[in-house]
């Protein structure tokens, strides 16, 4: 359910993820989690649930898109060249994971609307695919993620109904779900992303090394699913 976390169906391991689709380390962390799952013997029994977080809450809805380097320079009062160099370092780190970042053409906007699309996708069983498509749209393609038509096209690409996605965004049907996620993050003291919680027990903050994700999966599986009473939901 939107806004809920840490509940695990019997016989399955839930990984709750707080992230934002314009967060460069969230895309890296998601990629590392996916790589760990590819190597995990029980991957089919793992459910990944995404929760909304605003990396840049000061960016107003409806504001004109701004390049990440311009945003970084203005926010921290540093020269744009310095901000661009920092983003170049992030791009290099992402490339080592096989990700293609083009932050020179990325367009930063408020992400409340794409988070609504994430919840719409979750309601139709396509949240992971939608999140990954949103990451690519922002970091690689430079698309404007506040544009409803753009978002509807992306929804259709992952197999969702385009007109239903448009209607959900226009009505704000999932705005409450986004706010519930943000409130929950505040209650749990989550002030940075990506933030992963495995089985409601083990937290991983940031785009940590692959081995740490593998260990978190193994340990949380052993202590939640394998340790469950015999016959519990199996």
The Cα 144–Cα 190 span in angstroms is 27
Q: Which tens digit of pLDDT belongs to each residue from 102-160?
A: 999 999 999 999 999 999 999 999 999 999 999 999 999 999 999 999 999 999 999 99
Q: Model confidence at 234, in pLDDT bands (50, 70, 90)?
A: very low
Q: Which tens digit of pLDDT belongs to each residue from 29-85?
A: 999 999 999 999 999 999 999 999 999 999 999 999 999 999 999 999 999 999 999
Q: Give me the mean pLDDT over the 181-196 stretch.
A: 96
Q: Give me the mean pLDDT over the 188-202 stretch.
A: 95
Question: What is the set of domains in the chain, with CATH numbers?
Answer: 13-65+107-225 (3.40.30.10)
Q: Model confidence at 206, in pLDDT bands (50, 70, 90)?
A: very high
Full DSSP string of the chain: -TT--S---TT-EEEEEEE-TT-HHHHHHHHHHHHHHHT-TTGGGEEEEEEE--S-TTSPTTPPPB-HHHHHHHHHT--HHHHHHHHHHHHHHHHTTT----TTT--B---HHHHHHHHHHHHTT-HHHHHHHHHHHHHTT---TT-HHHHHHHHHHTT--HHHHHHHHHHTTTHHHHHHHHHHHHHHT--SS-EEEETTTEEEESS--HHHHHHHHHHHIIIIITTSPTTS--
Q: Model confidence at 2, in pLDDT bands (50, 70, 90)?
A: very low
Between 100 and 227, whose confidence is greater?
Answer: 100
The Cα 91–Cα 136 span in angstroms is 13
pTM of this structure? 0.92
* Best CA proximity match to 113, nearest among 61, 71, 183, 156: 61
For the packed helices 148-157 and 127-139, what is the interaxial angle rounded to 10 degrees? Answer: 130
Q: Give me the mean pLDDT over the 169-181 stretch.
A: 98
Instruction: Tell me: pLDDT of 171 over 70.
Output: yes
Residue 216: exposed, middle, or buried by beta-carbon count in 10 A (0-12, 13-18, 19+)?
A: buried
Give the pLDDT confidence score for residue 225 in this predicted structure: 85
Q: Which tens digit of pLDDT belongs to each residue from 220-232?
A: 999 988 776 555 4
Give the pLDDT confidence score for residue 209 in this predicted structure: 97
Instruction: Tell me: pLDDT of 6 over 80.
Output: no
Give the pLDDT confidence score for residue 233 in this predicted structure: 45
């Amino acid at each position: 359910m939107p806004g809920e976390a840490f509940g695990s169906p019997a016989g399955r391991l839930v990984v709750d993820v707080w992230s934002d689709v314009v967060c460069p380390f969230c895309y890296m962390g998601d990629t590392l989690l996916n790589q760990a799952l590819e190597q995990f013997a029980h991957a089919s029994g793992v459910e990944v649930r995404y929760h909304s977080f605003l990396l840049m809450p000061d960016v107003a809805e409806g504001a004109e898109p701004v390049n990440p380097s311009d945003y970084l320079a203005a926010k921290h009062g540093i020269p744009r060249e310095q901000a661009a160099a920092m983003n170049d370092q992030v791009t290099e780190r992402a490339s080592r994971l096989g990700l293609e970042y083009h932050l020179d053409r990325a367009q930063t906007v408020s992400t409340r609307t794409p988070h609504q699309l994430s919840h719409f996708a979750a309601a139709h069983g396509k949240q992971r695919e939608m999140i990954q498509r949103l990451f690519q749209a922002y970091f690689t393609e430079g698309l404007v993620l506040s544009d409803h038509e753009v978002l509807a096209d992306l929804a259709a690409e992952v197999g969702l109904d385009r007109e239903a996605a448009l209607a959900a965004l226009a009505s704000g049907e999932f705005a409450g779900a986004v706010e519930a996620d943000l409130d929950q993050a505040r209650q749990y003291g989550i002030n940075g992303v990506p933030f992963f919680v495995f089985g409601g027990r083990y937290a991983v903050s940031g785009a940590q090394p692959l081995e740490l994700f593998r260990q978190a999966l193994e340990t949380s599986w052993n202590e939640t699913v394998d340790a469950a009473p015999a016959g519990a939901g199996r």
